[in-house]
Amino acid sequence: MKFETLCLHADLNKKDEWGTLNQAICQSATFVHKGVDVDSPYSYSRLSNPTRTHLENTVNALEGGYATYAFSSGMTAITVSMMLFKRGDHIISTYDLYGGALRLFNNVCNSNGIEYSFINTSDIDLLEKTIKNNTKAIYIETPSNPLMEVTDIRLVSDIAKKHGLIVIVDNTFLTPYYQKPLSLGADIVLHSGTKYLGGHNDTLAGFVVCKTKELSEKILYFSKTIGGQLSPFDCFLIERGIKTLPIRMDRINDNAYKVAEWLRGCNKIKKVFYVGFKDNKGYEIIKKQATGFGGMISIEVESEELAKKILKDVKIFQYAESLGGVDSLITYPMKQTHADLKKEEREAKGINERFLRISIGIENVEDLINDLKEAIYDWFR
Ligand SMILES: *Cc1c(COP(=O)(O)O)cnc(C)c1O
């Protein structure tokens, strides 16, 4: 089956006694045993639940994994993946990382004895130099959040193999529709299913996709021990979102390209961070490893006043955190996703009071551009 079909029919095992077309929401914490020593497919929903199994099988097929586990948020998925490491282990990570992951690594995992080096993972020489005897994994986001830097997954995976490290890729931004890290050599793929997979800004979810039986047995053990699984109703919502993932991504991809081009031509915008520009330094790599550019654009505008004016005056774009849904959103990273960073660190990365991050939705693209024009220039008023 091709990707678009898999989004609807990847898990053909869902048939139940009623013949429901959609996987039924199985709202049960526990399951009745058929007898002592008689195998039952389900026993307790922290271990597994039919609605969740169906969703896990779907995401697993889309990413091409050995097994996938669904959690109550992207952060839960990231946290569970960190259980693979212990005191004294060292992990190399992209320096431009989702703010929540940074907070987890720096303030929680670090206190528990796991050491991190945050580097520009697109610099392969630097990556090799950063590997130490106790290095266990390389953790990347590509494109990164919010600077849109691209890391070569295949190259990083080759280096990791040479040194016996595992590669973890947060694939939230491009989704398996555009990028399949496991096929490029990664060992674990993480998702905030809250974003494009769910796609409607109505449900939090997270996924851990494992490439091997060995990794998946470990993650399953952590999952059943820790908890944090996605609830049956939320599984249903994410499953419903995934059915339209390809058509949403196509529209979002087209819209983002056009909005980025317009922003680049706008005299009030100093810099546009978008991976689809031919002169972007990650362009050749993203063309090689992905089939689309996604819907994320960051911009640096002329002044702090203009950044605030855009947030205040947009009508179709909403000033809200999150990304990846059908509605277009704008966030102010310094006040929101990256508010926890030290000021110097944040500014060194260019995340200042003039920096905005945009998530493009599925609206009509002319309406989106006009909304920005109006907010920036007060045109049409
Ligand atoms: C949102 C996000 C997360 C965290 O996911 P939640 O579902 O909000 O917990 C992790 N990584 C990336 C890239 C994200 O955008």
Cα–Cα dist 366/168, whole Å: 38
154 labelled catalytic: no
Cα–Cα dist 117/244, whole Å: 38
Measure CA 257 to chain center. Answer: 20
CA of 98 to the centre of ligand 1 (A): 7
Closest by alpha carbon to 255, among 229, 232, 286, 276? 276
16 labelled catalytic: no
Q: What is the pTM of this model?
A: 0.96
Pocket test residue of 72, 142, 172 for ligand 1, highest count of atoms within 8 A of CB: 172
How far from 359 is each of 47, 237, 362, CA to CA, in Å?
35, 21, 10
CB of 198 closer than 6 angstroms to any ligand 1 atom: no
CB of 170 closer than 6 angstroms to any ligand 1 atom: yes
How would you write the pLDDT of the chain (381 residues) with one tens digit per residue?
999 999 999 987 766 788 888 999 999 999 999 899 998 899 999 999 999 999 999 999 999 999 999 999 999 999 999 999 999 999 999 999 998 999 999 999 999 999 999 999 989 999 999 999 999 999 999 999 899 999 999 999 999 999 999 999 999 999 999 999 999 999 999 999 999 999 999 999 999 999 999 999 999 999 999 999 999 999 999 999 999 999 999 999 999 999 999 999 999 999 999 999 999 999 999 999 999 999 999 999 999 999 999 999 999 999 999 999 999 999 999 888 777 778 888 888 889 999 999 999 999 999 999 999 999 998 654
Cis peptide before 333 (omega within 30 of 0): no
Closest by alpha carbon to 3, among 246, 254, 286? 246
**By three-state DSSP, how is residue 191 classified?**
strand
44 labelled catalytic: no
**Nearest CA residue ID for atom 7, ligand 1:** 74
Pocket test residue of 97, 144, 195 for ligand 1, highest count of atoms within 8 A of CB: 195
Indicate which atom in ligand 1 lies nearest the CA of residue 145.
13
Residue 65 in tokens: 């994994």
Cβ pair 317, 323 in contact under 8 A? no
Task: Please write the tens of the pLDDT for every residue from 64-118.
Answer: 999 999 999 999 999 999 999 999 999 999 999 998 999 999 999 999 999 999 9
CB of 230 closer than 6 angstroms to any ligand 1 atom: no
Task: Please write the tens of the pLDDT for every residue from 113-152.
Answer: 999 999 999 899 999 999 999 999 999 999 998 999 999 9
Cα–Cα dist 289/310, whole Å: 34
| Positive/negative CA dihedral, 344, 347, 352, 358 | negative
pLDDT for 380: 53
pLDDT for 193: 98
Measure CA 14 to chain center. Answer: 26
Written as one string, the DSSP assignment of 193-210 is: TTTTTT-SSS---EEEEE
254 labelled catalytic: no
- Cα within 13 Å of Cα(192), Cβ side: 21
CB of 204 closer than 6 angstroms to any ligand 1 atom: yes
The radius of gyration of the chain from alpha carbons, rounded to an integer in Å, stands at 21
